[in-house]
Amino acid sequence: MMRQMRDATKPIIFLALVAFVALMVFQWGMDITGQSSGGLGEIGRVNGDPVQYDEYMASYRNLYDQVQSSQEQPITTQQNKEIEDAAFDEVVNQILIRQELRRRGIDVTDREIVEAAQFSPPADLRPQFVNDAGQFDGVAYQTFLATLPPDQLILLEAYYRDVIPRGKLLRQVSSGIYLSDAELWQRYQDENEQVEIRFVALDPATRYDDSEFSIPQNEIEAYYRANEEEFAVPARASLKVVVLDRTPTPADTAAAADLAESFRQEIEDGADFAEVAMRESSDEGSAALGGDLGVFPKGPAPGSMVAPFDSAVFAASTRVGVPTPPVKTSFGYHIIEVTERWGQDSAQARHVLVPVARTDDSEIALLTLADSLEDLSETMLLDQAAAAAGLTSISVDITETFPFVAGAGQISEGADWVFEEASVGDVSPVFENAQAFYAVELLSSEPEGTLPLEDAAPGIESTLRFDLKMERAMTDGSSLLSQIAAGEALEEAASAAGLEVREAGPFTRNDFVPGIGRQNAAVGAAFGLRPGQLSNVVSTGGNAFLIELTGYAPADSAAWLGQTVEQRQREIGVLQQLRLQEWIAALRASARIVDRRDVVLAPQDENQIQLPMVF
């Protein structure tokens, strides 16, 4: 009992520290009033209510910590910008919720708090009070409550004062959601009913030659006028870009190999393999087991290892119980010890994994180079700055919707600067993402607009030509059906037309079907057939098919009845989330939201650090 109490106290303190509220999909903070205890004051407003800096920073730090804990690399400037925006959005949502609670007069009574505290512990606490049978131990929880000091009882009360009204609001927002047994059965069927088919794909795009179809100019012009929205083009820009690739250098690779070899030598000199693996291996899952990877088959087979690892394990020269020299795979360098091997069928092994990553010296050199490029680009064009730093620039064109640069990938932060702040001739600061550091110079830009007819014409012609090909495919498919109806076998009719009969399945309505696709008219047609029945010609928009049902496995109605309660809860939960997202989106759309972060948090001089920052 005392262990339960000690273990449960930690989550209570955690609730106080991070202001966490566990309420289904509502991830809202503990701050009920929204009042600030200091800081920079207002950084925005929502329908007249202030967005306080302290509340924003609490959300920012929480999101920052979540992202950082999910990755080994430091958070990039691009990720930081995304975190800042997400934190502001989260606080705006919290304020909108508080406003809605006031508008609807939703409150909580003392009696409701007492009952909730007694019988509905916070989600983080509940696992601490599960008995040996896997059931919630109410007696142990009540004993725990009786031992809580007053300051933690106050925190628990604040938790329920926040959660209970929001729970009432959730029920109001999601009221009216109901799924009948017929709807549940249909969803279950979609996931479990299976068919097998034979099909003929008519492949109009490749089956017919383009020269057989002529498209008049007046039809191209008519399509352009009728579908002008299809030819909207995003804002575009031409840039000079300097990319500093963050991938490890050959020297980094050599350093990883040397480190792996040092671990092998340490084991050879008498160190325990399991202890080295637990201490040094970057494969956290196996490291906790002393590097043990369990039993696995020789590849290629399900559950086998990547090729270089597999080759080393099953090589004739590899001895059981003797660590191998470093083996390089896409994961890094492995020191492998085969503990058991059963011929060329399977083996058991353990390993120490050393990833190929930048060394400290390499990372410092890259950061220094990035800083040097940024300093130089403040007083000269990017080409000149790059040359002075011993780098080269490239010319690229990007669009606002797809800001991609070879070597740097998506440069979202750089694109924001290009399309929202820069003038022609400006050189950016150095940005970073997971792939690279980069700087850009804006050479020219064009606002969003509409593609001229002369540029759109080739695409329109291709579209109209495909429509004609599809019409012919549908006609040819109907001819095949007539031949089959007259007694010709499907294979014979297809072969005479130069087509192939293929097989697929078993698959459900929700599966991707090779050669056909996912959740389209052809998949639906397959489930509408009887065994042995042949469909009409079915068009999916991109292809046309003849489908014959060869096998059918119905969904198990008895199994469905045994899980309807859980299914209903699961499906309603999904619908509640969708309803909640739509409701919050509607609140935001009608709200007056003022974002003053760019003014309040802007540096006052070149030596001032941009806020927000994590202390």
73: in domain: yes
- Considering the domain architecture, whether residues 432 and 326 belong to the same structural domain is answered as no
pLDDT recorded at residue 604: 54
Given a cut of 60, whether residue 57 has pLDDT beyond it is yes
pLDDT recorded at residue 113: 85
608: in domain: no
Q: Tokens in use for 575? A: 């619908």
Judging by DSSP bridges, how do beta strands 194-201 and 409-410 pair with one another?
A: unpaired
189: in domain: no
- Considering the domain architecture, whether residues 336 and 369 belong to the same structural domain is answered as no
Condensed to tens digits (0 to 9), the pLDDT of residues 450-462 reads: 999 999 999 999 9
pLDDT recorded at residue 603: 61
- State the average pLDDT over residues 2-10: 34
Q: What is the DSSP code string of 512-556?
A: EETTTEESSHHHHHHHTPPTT-B---EE-SS-EEEEEEEEEE---
Are 513 and 540 contacting, i.e. CB atoms less than 8 angstroms apart?
Answer: no
pLDDT recorded at residue 85: 92
330: in domain: yes
- State the average pLDDT over residues 417-444: 94
- Considering the domain architecture, whether residues 254 and 242 belong to the same structural domain is answered as no
Are 4 and 129 contacting, i.e. CB atoms less than 8 angstroms apart?
Answer: yes
- State the average pLDDT over residues 227-246: 93
pLDDT recorded at residue 15: 34
Given a cut of 50, whether residue 502 has pLDDT beyond it is yes
- Considering the domain architecture, whether residues 378 and 426 belong to the same structural domain is answered as yes
Higher-pLDDT residue of 14 and 598 is: 598
113: in domain: yes
116-134 core/surface letters (b: 16 or more CB in 10 A; e: else): bbeeebbeebbebbeeeee
Largest CA distance in the chain: 88
574: in domain: no
166-201 core/surface letters (b: 16 or more CB in 10 A; e: else): bbbbbeebbeeeeeeeeebbebbbeebbbbbbbbbb
Kindly report the CA angle at 143 between 142 and 144, in degrees rounded to 5? 90
pLDDT recorded at residue 548: 96
| Nearest-angstrom CA–CA distance, 499 and 525 | 20
Q: Does a cis peptide bond (omega within 30 degrees of 0) precede residue 300?
A: yes
Q: Tokens in use for 50? A: 């202030």
Are 210 and 556 contacting, i.e. CB atoms less than 8 angstroms apart?
Answer: no
Tell me, rounded to whole angstroms, the distance of Cα 440 from its chain centroid.
28
Q: Predicted confidence band at 343 (pLDDT cuts at 50, 70, 90)?
A: confident
CATH of the domain at 496: 3.10.50.40
The residue among 416, 447, 478 that closes a domain is 447
The residue among 447, 475, 491 that closes a domain is 447
pTM over 0.95: no
Are 427 and 377 contacting, i.e. CB atoms less than 8 angstroms apart?
Answer: yes
| Closest alpha carbon to 448 in 385, 482, 514, 400 | 400
pLDDT recorded at residue 148: 81
| Closest alpha carbon to 192 in 552, 572, 522 | 552
Domain extent at residue 380 = 235-246+360-447
| Nearest-angstrom CA–CA distance, 174 and 579 | 6
220: in domain: yes
Condensed to tens digits (0 to 9), the pLDDT of residues 520-562 reads: 999 999 999 999 999 999 999 899 999 999 999 999 999 999 9
The residue among 354, 370, 395 that closes a domain is 354
Are 544 and 204 contacting, i.e. CB atoms less than 8 angstroms apart?
Answer: yes
Q: Distances in Å between the alpha carbon of 478 and those of 89, 199, 475, 488?
A: 55, 14, 5, 14
| Nearest-angstrom CA–CA distance, 566 and 139 | 27
Q: SS3 for 177?
A: coil
Computed over every residue of the chain, the mean pLDDT equals 87
Question: What contacts 177, CB < 8 A, 6 or more positions away?
Answer: 572, 575, 576, 579
Q: Distances in Å between the alpha carbon of 568 and those of 183, 405, 472, 580?
A: 10, 47, 46, 18
Q: How many CB atoms lie within 10 A of CB 422?
A: 19
Round the CA-based radius of gyration of the chain to a whole number and report it.
32
Residue 202: φ, ψ to 5°: -85, -15
pLDDT recorded at residue 6: 33
Place of tokens 């628990």: 156
Angle, in degrees to the nearest 10, between helices 150-173 and 110-119: 100
- Considering the domain architecture, whether residues 10 and 148 belong to the same structural domain is answered as yes
Q: Distances in Å between the alpha carbon of 213 and those of 120, 354, 399, 466?
A: 70, 60, 34, 9
- State the average pLDDT over residues 53-80: 87
311: in domain: yes
Read off the DSSP letter of residue 296. E
Element (H, E) at 395: strand 394-399
Given a cut of 50, whether residue 516 has pLDDT beyond it is yes
| Nearest-angstrom CA–CA distance, 62 and 39 | 17
| Nearest-angstrom CA–CA distance, 516 and 199 | 9
Q: Tokens in use for 499? A: 């087509």
Kindly report the CA angle at 504 between 498 and 505, in degrees rounded to 5? 170
Question: What contacts 572, CB < 8 A, 6 or more positions away?
Answer: 177, 179
Question: What contacts 534, CB < 8 A, 6 or more positions away?
Answer: 481, 484, 490, 546, 547, 548
- Considering the domain architecture, whether residues 384 and 320 belong to the same structural domain is answered as no
| Closest alpha carbon to 170 in 28, 18, 15 | 28
- Considering the domain architecture, whether residues 25 and 98 belong to the same structural domain is answered as yes
Given a cut of 80, whether residue 602 has pLDDT beyond it is no
> Percent of the chain having pLDDT more than 90?
65
pLDDT recorded at residue 40: 61
Higher-pLDDT residue of 25 and 139 is: 139
**Minimum mean pLDDT range among 161-170, 199-208, 329-338:** 161-170
Condensed to tens digits (0 to 9), the pLDDT of residues 84-122 reads: 999 999 999 989 988 999 999 988 888 888 888 888 888
Given a cut of 90, whether residue 237 has pLDDT beyond it is yes
Q: Predicted confidence band at 73 (pLDDT cuts at 50, 70, 90)?
A: confident
Are 418 and 429 contacting, i.e. CB atoms less than 8 angstroms apart?
Answer: no
Given a cut of 60, whether residue 25 has pLDDT beyond it is no
pLDDT recorded at residue 454: 93
pLDDT recorded at residue 460: 96
- Considering the domain architecture, whether residues 157 and 265 belong to the same structural domain is answered as no
- Considering the domain architecture, whether residues 171 and 24 belong to the same structural domain is answered as yes
- Considering the domain architecture, whether residues 49 and 167 belong to the same structural domain is answered as yes
- Considering the domain architecture, whether residues 342 and 259 belong to the same structural domain is answered as yes
pLDDT recorded at residue 213: 94
- Considering the domain architecture, whether residues 211 and 146 belong to the same structural domain is answered as no
Q: Tokens in use for 519? A: 């959740």
Q: Tokens in use for 447? A: 């606002």
Instruction: Count how many domains the chain has.
Output: 4
Q: Predicted confidence band at 154 (pLDDT cuts at 50, 70, 90)?
A: confident
pLDDT recorded at residue 143: 82
- Tally of residues, the chain: 615
| Nearest-angstrom CA–CA distance, 447 and 449 | 6
Given a cut of 90, whether residue 445 has pLDDT beyond it is yes
